[in-house]
Chain A
Amino acid sequence: MAEFSKYLKLTGLMMKNCLVREMQFKANFVVRLFTETMWLVMQFIYISVMYGQTGQIAGWNMWEMVVLAGTNHVIAQLFEALFYDNCMRLIDQIRQGDLDFNLIKPINTQFLVSLRYTDYASIVNSSIGIGIILFALGKLGLGITLGGVVLFAALVANSILIYYSILFILSVWTFWIGRSNNLMELYWQFGQFSRYPGEIYPWLLRRLLQTLIPMLIVSNVPAGVLIHKLQTGLIFYGFTLGVVFLALTAWIWQRGLQRYRSASS
């Protein structure tokens, strides 16, 4: 328990440290909020053009699709806030041997390198996603229960961890191949698959996106809870997948560390 509170306290300290740094560039928040909103407007135009041609896409109506887009936005932004930068930095640390400084600290290194930096602008941005979800739910005439909110939040957290696991594994790859910046591009490319309903994909691709590259689990399952479009089985499956992926990161991290060659000395 003492161990747990130590980690909790450390997380608080690291986040506070980043907040102090970010507050020096307050205008940055406004800029990021603006650019992300533009990006969402583009997505909304795309969705509305498609629904201008048909009332239903693979059994989803327009506002249900907007709930999905909003959910996806919340998850992606929170993931980027907590982990994206850290994974990018990790690649350089491994390659340049800077990992030494983290390895000598009396704390779990995976924890430290994964959570060191927080991007607050992305946290602010995720609130637009919540606004969009609420607006779309209003249009659908759907209410939300307290239980629904709790389940949704838990699933969102789970999705963020799955995203983290995938990107962390891609970064740790650096131990073996020396440079994996290109692999990080995969994050943006895979992200494409999570934006739309799983029902549009043929059987094989859909199964692939629910297991090996679980892009459909991360967005479709939490959104499904809000619009009552889900089997309970998938919720349990999603949580299990989160645990499995997280365990996998720890295992690969240990294997990778054995290959670490430190700095040039």
Chain B
Amino acid sequence: MTTAAPTAQNRSPLHKYWVILSTRTQEDMTYRFNYVFGAIFRFLPLVTMIFLWYAVYMGRNMAPINGMSFKDMIVYNALMYIARGFSSVPGTMNDISKDIKDGLLNRYLIKPMDYFGYQVMYRLAHKLVFWYIALLTFPFVFWFMSASGHYFTHWPTLWEALAFLASLVIAFCVGIQFCFMIGNLAFWFLEISTFLFVVMMLEFFLSGQLIPLNILPQWMHQFLFLSPFSYEGYWPCVILMGKVPQDQLLPVLGRGVLWVGVFYAAVRVMWRMGLKRYSAVGG
């Protein structure tokens, strides 16, 4: 018997991941007002940030801090919203550690798919809906900033724009793989919620979300700029702002790709070792 529709046999093995992505996206879209609300109010901290840093710069007669002018500082904080929109995947660490601890992993293990492939699709769906809504609000915020304060003083070159896009992909990969790694720790430790909190704090600081990494003390730079966390926030921002010389763009991105590889390998190794210890409680 032949039918026009593709059967389960002749579908691409990747088809199942497409199904996960599309169902998850539809599911998230049901709650899109949840996102609309978040997309508007998430910018409130930026308001405080602008006035606070303005007061700081006023105190030093608007002199730049390590090459960061007042406008740079504000643009950096605004661009951070874009970078974190790619690198932060809230709930991932918790969900994975819960799946492992409570034995919920069983229901994924028996399915002919890769658990992390499933997780990537799940989170990607979330990001798609996030950006669908964000594309309605972010441009307005950026337009308003540009019209009211002329904050954007640098028009990125083609190379910077391309490197920026690449850095966002790296941001997502580093962000999600890091969550996988930490989530995997649940194979060895039963209670990791405190640890998760500490890790998220460190991420918050080392990614440059709290303070631009380049205005921190000089002796920390070497470490901060090489750390994988800098790819979750700092690098996308400074690349688009034109703070990275053109001949440095490739090396910077290269190191980012290297970190993605290292993280990927670590996740796989931990997964293999972890599964051997996995006791499938409650199964």
B172-208: which residues lie under 8 A (CB-CB) from chain A?
Answer: 193-194, 197-198, 201, 204-205
Q: Within 8 Å of chain A (Cβ to Cβ): is B223? A: no
Interface residues on A, range: 20 to 34
A88-107: which residues lie under 8 A (CB-CB) from chain B?
Answer: none
Contact for B41 among A39, A189, A196, A200, CB less than 8 A: A189
Q: Is the CB of B59 within 8 A of A45?
A: no
Chain B contact surface mostly: helix
The 10 closest A-B pairs by CB, nearest first: A54-B59, A58-B55, A200-B51, A189-B44, A200-B55, A182-B37, A57-B55, A54-B60, A35-B197, A192-B45
Contact for B52 among A185, A189, A200, CB less than 8 A: A200
**Per-position contact with B for A212-254: 1 when CB-CB < 8 Å, else 0?**
0000000000000000000000000000000000000000000
Chain B interface residues (CB < 8 Å from chain A): 33-34, 37-38, 41-42, 44-45, 47-48, 51-60, 65, 193-194, 197-198, 201, 204-205, 210-211, 215-216
Q: Which residues on the B side are within 8 Å of A12 (C-beta)? A: none
Q: Which residue of B lies closest to A182 (CB)?
A: B37
Q: Is the CB of A185 within 8 A of B38?
A: yes
Q: Is the CB of A35 within 8 A of B194?
A: yes
Identify 27 residue pairs between A and B in the complex whose beta-carbon atoms are under 8 Å apart, listed by A's number.
Answer: A31-B194, A35-B197, A38-B198, A38-B201, A42-B205, A45-B211, A46-B210, A49-B216, A53-B60, A53-B215, A54-B56, A54-B57, A55-B59, A57-B56, A182-B34, A182-B37, A182-B38, A185-B41, A189-B41, A189-B45, A192-B48, A195-B48, A196-B48, A199-B55, A200-B54, A201-B51, A205-B47
Q: Which residues on the A side are within 8 Å of B205 (C-beta)? A: 42, 45
Separation of A200 and B34 alpha carbons in the complex (Å): 31
A183-215: which residues lie under 8 A (CB-CB) from chain B?
Answer: 183, 185-186, 189-190, 192-193, 195-196, 199-202, 205
Q: Which residue of B lies closest to A206 (CB)?
A: B51
Least distance between B191 CB and chain A CB atoms (Å): 9
Q: Within 8 Å of chain B (Cβ to Cβ): is A56? A: yes
Separation of A9 and B58 alpha carbons in the complex (Å): 54
Separation of A42 and B203 alpha carbons in the complex (Å): 12
Separation of A186 and B40 alpha carbons in the complex (Å): 11
Q: Which residues on the B side are within 8 Å of A185 (C-beta)? A: 37-38, 41
Q: Is the CB of B210 within 8 A of A45?
A: yes
Q: Is the CB of B48 within 8 A of A50?
A: no
Q: Is the CB of B201 within 8 A of A39?
A: yes
Q: Is the CB of A192 within 8 A of B210?
A: no
Q: Which residue of B lies closest to A55 (CB)?
A: B59
Q: Which residues on the B side are within 8 Å of A196 (C-beta)? A: 48, 51-52
Q: Which residue of B lies closest to A51 (CB)?
A: B56
| Known A42-B205, A182-B37, A192-B45; contact A50-B52, beta-carbon cutoff 8 A | yes
**Per-position contact with B for A34-64: 1 when CB-CB < 8 Å, else 0?**
1100110010011001100111111000000
Beyond A45-B210, A54-B60: 17 further Cβ-contacts under 8 Å?
A34-B194, A35-B198, A45-B205, A46-B211, A49-B211, A49-B215, A50-B53, A54-B56, A54-B57, A57-B59, A58-B58, A182-B37, A185-B37, A189-B41, A196-B48, A200-B54, A202-B51
Separation of A123 and B116 alpha carbons in the complex (Å): 40
Least distance between A179 CB and chain B CB atoms (Å): 10
Q: Which residues on the A side are within 8 Å of B52 (C-beta)? A: 50, 57, 196, 200
